[in-house]
Chains A and B, each alone.
Chain A
Amino acid sequence: MTSELEKARGSRASLIPWGRIPWWVVIISILGVFVGYSVLTSETYLTVISFVMDGVKLTLQTTVVAFALALVLGLLGGLGRVSKNPVLYAIATLYVEVIRGLPMLVIILYAGFVIGPGIRDATGGALNPPMLQRAIIGLGFGYGAYLTEVYRAGIQSIHRGQMEAARSLGMTYFQAMRYIVLPQAFRVILPPLVNDLSALLKDTSLISVIALSDLLQMGRLYVSRTFRAFEGYNTVALLYLVMTMILSSLSRVLERRMKIAE
């Protein structure tokens, strides 16, 4: 009975493992080839792409700088969230609760029209960050709050004995964090970090509301000039999709490598 069942399974498995093919990848690849071909052979799409290319550059720049800021703020916030110092803990918790309670769009408008001018007035005009810097600061602080929780979870996932072993050798709290806990935590949080990077990339489209020429803003500009909404927004969507899909496949590779390393 069992052997016949196995035989039946074996004969089926010996062909193609239909169940294990990632069908969505196949579909996206076929669609990708088709869309890519029709876009790259169409004069209209090529015009749109060259028109919005500067926007892609700004979107990528904003993403990279804001994410770097968020990584630093998230690390500081995460250390605060696991700190025994009640003041640091309170500051970090307040930061997370306030920022995560606000829509990203509101944060960006705040950074652009409230905090930015505030800095200018407070320094008597000596410091007057341009709109792009204000937007990056807004995004960086906004995502820093989300990354704070990612770091906190990562640090807390490392067994208490690791900190104890490091401390019992005479290391200070920060040495133990730096050499023992954080390197291990970082491996754990790498995949979620890449997911947040992808989310940040999409959220940079919000800076178009403060008139920065990112990918979305350039697409809208194209549409308002030519009334070709179909091609304009198709191009915008396609370019975002290409960028986020590169990131999500990166995240998948990282996750797989993590599993092997365990």
Chain B
Amino acid sequence: MLNNEPIIQIRDVHKHFGHVHAVRGVSLDVHPAEVVVIIGPSGSGKSTLLRCINRLETADSGTIVVDGFPVTDPATDINEVRAEVGMVFQLFNLFPHLTALGNVVLAQRVVRKRSREEAEAIAVEQLTKVGIPEKAHAYPGQLSGGQQQRVAIARALAMQPKIMMFDEPTSALDPEMIKEVLDVMLELASEGMTMVVVSHEMGFVKAAADRIVFMDEGEVIETTTPEGLFTAPKHERTRLFLSKILH
């Protein structure tokens, strides 16, 4: 299943926020069609690492190469990279002045330069895929949290990215809406999408993750498989964290 050439290569990345050393020398490879889930306590640098991959945060040192583009090189046109890396946020960040359809259409038109007809056709297709074609003309304010997050996923997918990143996509959702979002993510994983997910949804981890990366205090503590994580975590810190989240 894994190709040899990684599509994301992270080497010794550091990131500071003032005096806080948020990411401390992280190295990580992600291969095409792989689903990597990053877990760890809050403040462990997982979201920051994710945001460094598409340069929403600029790494202080180290190198990140995404799909052949050296992201950490300031000369790289980051917009070209971002169009290939879909991102889903904890707080959805839908555009409230546009309908669900408008949200999914806009970047296709502006960035991918597609015609209105083509962009709308793809948008309807993606909204159908995430299960809410009937909400195409609703505004974000009229949608539930789960529906908003699914529109956000459709918005990212419509760009036909090679990689999808999820930054705690279910953390802001009411419990009864988590499943509808996870189902969409599971389907994506089964289709062979390359995914980097920051999440503590152990159901998703068991069902879809190829690899688990456990981070704490800005470092990767261990990299393991779902079975390895639940049956034999190598490090004390991992065990401690698991005991906290698994109740």
Do A and B make up one complex? yes
Q: Which residues of A approach B to under 8 Å, CB–CB? A: 159, 161-162, 164-172, 175, 179-180, 183-184, 187
A contact face: mostly helix, strand, loop, or mixed: helix
Question: Are B97 and A187 in contact, with the CB atoms below 8 A?
Answer: yes
Question: Are A169 and B156 in contact, with the CB atoms below 8 A?
Answer: yes
A170 to B108, CA, bound (A): 10
Show 26 A/B contacts (Cβ-Cβ < 8 Å), sorted by A. A161-B89, A161-B93, A162-B95, A164-B56, A164-B93, A165-B89, A165-B93, A165-B94, A165-B152, A167-B56, A167-B79, A168-B56, A168-B85, A168-B86, A168-B87, A168-B156, A169-B107, A169-B156, A169-B159, A170-B83, A170-B111, A171-B79, A171-B111, A172-B79, A179-B106, A179-B110
- Contact of B82 with A by CB under 8 A: yes
B83 to A, closest residue via Cβ: A170
A229 to B38, CA, bound (A): 80
Q: Contacts of B86 on A, CB cut-off 8 Å?
A: 168-169
* Other-chain contact of A162, B85, B93, B156, B159 (Cβ < 8 Å): B93
Interface residues of B in 166-198 (CB under 8 A from A): none
- Contact of B5 with A by CB under 8 A: no
A173 to B, closest residue via Cβ: B79
Question: Are A161 and B106 in contact, with the CB atoms below 8 A?
Answer: no
A3 to B97, CA, bound (A): 44
Question: Are B56 and A170 in contact, with the CB atoms below 8 A?
Answer: no
Interface residues of B in 57-108 (CB under 8 A from A): 79-80, 82-83, 85-87, 89, 91, 93-97, 106-107
Question: Are A170 and B80 in contact, with the CB atoms below 8 A?
Answer: yes
In the complex, besides A170-B82, A179-B106, A184-B97, 12 extra interface pairs with C-beta distance below 8 angstroms are A161-B93, A165-B87, A166-B95, A166-B107, A168-B156, A169-B83, A169-B155, A169-B156, A170-B159, A175-B111, A179-B110, A183-B97
Question: Are A171 and B56 in contact, with the CB atoms below 8 A?
Answer: no
Known A180-B95, A184-B96, A184-B97; contact A171-B89, beta-carbon cutoff 8 A: no
